[in-house]
Amino acid sequence: MISLAFFATVVNYLDRQTLSVVAPVLLDQFHMDSVDYSRVVSAFLLAYTLMNGVSGPLIDRLGTRSGYALCMLWWSVSSMLHVFARGAFSLGVFRFLLGMGEAGNWPAGVKVVAEWFPERERALASGIFNSGSTIGVILAPPIIAFIVLQVGWRAAFLFIGILGFVWLIAWLSIYKTPHETALSKRPPQPVLKLLRMRFVWSFTLAKVFLDPAWYFYVFWFPEYLKQVHKFNLAAIGKYAWIPFFVAALGNVLGGFLSPAFMRRRMETAKARKLAVTICTLLMLFSIPAVLSPSPWVATGCVAIAMAGYTGANVTMLAFTADAFSKESVASVWGLASMGAGFGGMLFTLIAGGVIQHFSYAPVFVGFGIIPLVCSTMLWTLTGPLPKREEPSVKGLGSVDGPSYPGD
């Protein structure tokens, strides 16, 4: 089941990353500058942000199977519509539609984790499905660059959209809801009630300062290699995947860190917060990345920073499932992702202006520092975990998975 969420996330990021790989071509063909590009990216982030607040509750109400399928169908069709782009405006419209569909991936994925895995396995399970994002970004540069060089950029969007339909067939054929979860099904908590909870609003605010760094690397790193280090499209396809490969290892780091602290009898919330703090400190490596004249040193430092992000993110994915029942976890993550989207949109627009008028240096420095705000907020604002009421099903015991000594 977690493999299905992993492959959906791979497709999600292949769809998303196609634009960043073909950006050097589109900027020339459509006569776009850095500010125009930042607006196209922000169109995606605007839709992604708004729909996170819708997709999470929608998936909680429809169920994981139907909700995930609907999201994949929408974003795959939207990816294929990119072949009709004729300029910055139409490109922005299709990115907006893509963002609407892709917003459902993480609320659905975290719901899969909550349904199928107990507390001590959630961080690693989250790491497995979340690593699909880095695998997708790793695969995108060589695959997309090859398609573009052979048959053009429009074929790249079409090909990746078709992959989504392949996944959709597999998902509808294989995925099932755990028996005990189906028996204990309860309605999700109302969104307004969730928003009044201290954990939800503070967790959402913390995400505002974590995710923008990832959006920057995903959408701008290939263009950075072109502008600063004079890479052509072939070189981008050959080398731009390296930081994302290292970032995939960050999912493993995040998957093991907090459970290791928990095995030492550390409270779950403290273990999660400490793991996030360690990972956000790694994100400071973006600062020496931009200060080095060597593209290889810069790439290595960015790789470490990105691994820090993925480690922090998978820990926060597990954190959500710790705090809320299976019926509401997608809603909570969707609300938190709204915060991440607003932060990403705001900082992307700022980054575009700074790059256009100054350089990449202030942007890299900023995205090294602001994730520390996230970890600080987790320690100072979230407070104790909400008390979660998980019903028991007669004859099955707890529906939250097998128990462990000391649980």
Cβ atoms of 383 and 203 within 8 Å: the answer is no
Task: Please give the full DSSP string across 222-284, using - where no structure is assigned.
Answer: HHHHHHHH---HHHHHHHTTHHHHHHHHHHHHHHHHHHHHHHTT--HHHHHHHHHHHHHHHGG
- pLDDT value of position 377: 93
Which residues is 392 bridged to in the sheet? 398
Quote the tokens at residue 87.
Answer: 């300029």
Q: How far is CA 85 from CA 19, 246, 390, in A?
A: 12, 33, 48
DSSP-based three-state secondary structure for 186: coil
CATH 1.20.1250.20 holds for 2-173+190-386: yes
| Residue 20 burial (C-beta neighbours within 10 Å; 0-12, 13-18, 19+) | buried
Regarding pTM above 0.95, the answer is no
Instruction: Give tens-digit pLDDT for 89-131.
Output: 999 999 999 999 998 898 898 888 888 888 778 888 888 888 8
Which residues is 393 bridged to in the sheet? 397
The DSSP code for 169 is H
Degrees to nearest 5, angle at CA 112 with 107 and 114: 90
pLDDT tens digits for the chain (407 residues)?
A: 889 999 999 999 898 888 878 888 888 888 888 788 888 888 888 898 888 888 888 888 888 889 999 999 999 999 999 999 888 899 999 999 999 999 889 889 888 888 888 877 888 888 888 888 878 878 887 888 889 888 888 999 999 899 999 999 999 999 887 765 554 566 777 777 887 888 888 888 999 999 889 888 877 887 788 888 888 777 877 777 788 888 888 888 888 888 889 888 888 889 999 999 999 999 999 999 988 888 889 889 999 999 999 999 888 888 877 777 777 788 887 888 888 878 877 887 888 888 888 888 999 999 999 999 999 999 998 877 666 555 444 443 444 433 333 33
For the chain, what are the domain ranges? 2-173+190-386
Instruction: Give tens-digit pLDDT for 334-362.
Output: 888 888 878 877 887 888 888 888 888 99
Q: Which long-range contacts (CB under 8 A, 24 or more apart) does 171-178 make?
A: 171/4, 171/8, 171/65, 171/68, 171/69, 171/72, 172/65, 172/69, 174/4, 175/1, 175/4, 175/64, 175/65, 175/68, 176/65, 177/63, 177/64, 177/65, 177/115, 178/115, 178/116, 178/399
What mean pLDDT is reported for the chain? 83
Alpha carbon distance 159, 157 (integer Å): 6
Alpha carbon distance 105, 55 (integer Å): 9
Cβ atoms of 17 and 166 within 8 Å: the answer is no
Alpha carbon distance 356, 349 (integer Å): 11
